[in-house]
Amino acid sequence: MAKVLVLRTAGVNCDEETAHAFRLAGGEVSVLHVGSLLRGEERLEEFDVLAIPGGFSYGDDLGAGTVRANQLRTRLAGDLHDFVDEGKLVIGICNGFQVLVRLGILPGWEGDKVASLIENVSGKFEDRWIDLRVETDQCPFLDCKGEHGAPCPRYLRAPVAHREGRFFLRDPDLLERLRDNGQIALTYRQGSGDDDPEPAAAGGAYPANPNGSVLDISGICNEKGNVLGLMPHPERFVHRLQGPSWTRNPPGASESALETLSSAGDGFSIFSGAVGFVNDRADKIR
């Protein structure tokens, strides 16, 4: 069974939702304060998946994710890099994405900090449901298989809730590297479903692109694909009832109303993908 660590700190407010999502996916989940790692009471190497959940760590007083990133850099940098180098999975959601970028773990180029998540173009906190398209096939979080081997949705819906979510690269030329490497994991879209929705817009059309991120980027991964950072909150849409339009989506011909209401939301595929990947890898080792 995949062992998942959900790492919480002061100000984090999505740890229990993230843990719930991984448990639904079949993971063995521990929600631990970062202090337990700093004091050596727990060791990162004992886990298969590290989740850095969203919220406002340490009040974001020095910028979103800054204090948490500095804490991890000064005390746990070696353990984190070993964890990633071994091919273990890491996901950073919203504030967690901001932490991974500040640490240089994403995009993961020689450990350099080449990207930032800066203030939304709107200049305000953005909180709404958005549409996403999966852009890569090299990330286990996004490459899961559903029931009977059916592929997970190429298009997803999830809520966003952030003020500093605008993805920005220090050097615009690095966008080409990000794209060529297949590291753009998710983009904001206009509409959803199988009709291949349009990009939000080249310049980041508001409100489909809620923050003005370049190339409508809502999530990236490292070159290996085992580290994913994203601004939307998939842990807030693991049950269909959590979606805003569930009352407008009648059950299918072979599906009862009760089955429809209890079925998974789009975000669940991200967590089941990770757990499935770890379990498959363990089976191959055996």
Question: Does the pLDDT at position 193 exceed 60?
Answer: no
- Any idea where the domains of the chain sit in the sequence? 3-285
Annotated catalytic residue, options 14, 94, 139, 152: 94
What pLDDT shows up at residue 62? Answer: 60
> What value does the mean pLDDT take over residues 148-155?
60
DSSP sequence for the chain? --EEEEEE-TTB--HHHHHHHHHHTT-EEEEEEHHHHHTTSS-GGG-SEEEE--B-GGGGTTSTTHHHHHHHHHHHHHHHHHHHHTT-EEEEETHHHHHHHHHTTTT-STT---EEEE--TTSS-EEEEEEEEE--SS-GGG--B-GGGPBPPSEEEEEEEESS-EEEESSTTHHHHHHHTT-EEEEEEES-STT-PEES-TT--TTTSSS--GGGEEEEE-SSS-EEEESS-GGG-SBGGGSTTGGGS---TT--HHHHHHSBPTTHHHHHHHHHHHHHHHHHH-
Q: Comparing 7-11, 39-43, 158-162, 185-189, which segment has the lowest mean pLDDT?
A: 7-11
Q: Comparing 35-39, 245-249, 256-260, which segment has the lowest mean pLDDT?
A: 256-260
pLDDT tens string 218-232? 999 999 999 999 999
What pLDDT shows up at residue 260? Answer: 56
8 Å CB contact between 107 and 114: yes
Q: Model confidence at 241, in pLDDT bands (50, 70, 90)?
A: confident
235 is catalytic: yes
Average pLDDT along the chain: 87
Q: What are the angstrom distances between the C-alpha of 32 and each of 12, 35, 129, 202, 204?
A: 12, 8, 29, 41, 37
- The rounded distance, in Å, linking the Cα atoms of 253 and 161 is 35
Domain 3-285: assigned CATH number: 3.40.50.880
Look at 201 and 18; give whichever has higher pLDDT.
Answer: 18
What pLDDT shows up at residue 261? Answer: 57
pLDDT tens string 103-125? 999 999 987 889 999 999 999 99
What pLDDT shows up at residue 68? Answer: 83
Q: Model confidence at 148, in pLDDT bands (50, 70, 90)?
A: very low
Q: What are the angstrom distances between the C-alpha of 24 and each of 127, 223, 236, 273?
A: 25, 28, 13, 12
Annotated catalytic residue, options 135, 144, 233, 239: 233
Annotated catalytic residue, options 17, 42, 126, 235: 235
Question: Does the pLDDT at position 153 exceed 90?
Answer: no
Global pTM reads: 0.90
What are phi and psi for residue 99, nearest 5 degrees? -65, -45
Question: Does the pLDDT at position 248 exceed 70?
Answer: yes
> What value does the mean pLDDT take over residues 204-224?
92
Output the six-digit token pair for 7.
């790492």
Q: Model confidence at 93, in pLDDT bands (50, 70, 90)?
A: very high
Q: Model confidence at 250, in pLDDT bands (50, 70, 90)?
A: low
8 Å CB contact between 117 and 123: no
What pLDDT shows up at residue 202? Answer: 47
Q: Which of 143-157, 204-218, 243-257 has the highest mean pLDDT?
A: 204-218
Percent of the chain with pLDDT over 70: 84
Find, among 7, 20, 26, 15, the residue nearest to 275 by Cα.
Answer: 26
Question: Does the pLDDT at position 203 exceed 80?
Answer: no
8 Å CB contact between 52 and 92: yes
> What value does the mean pLDDT take over residues 150-172?
85
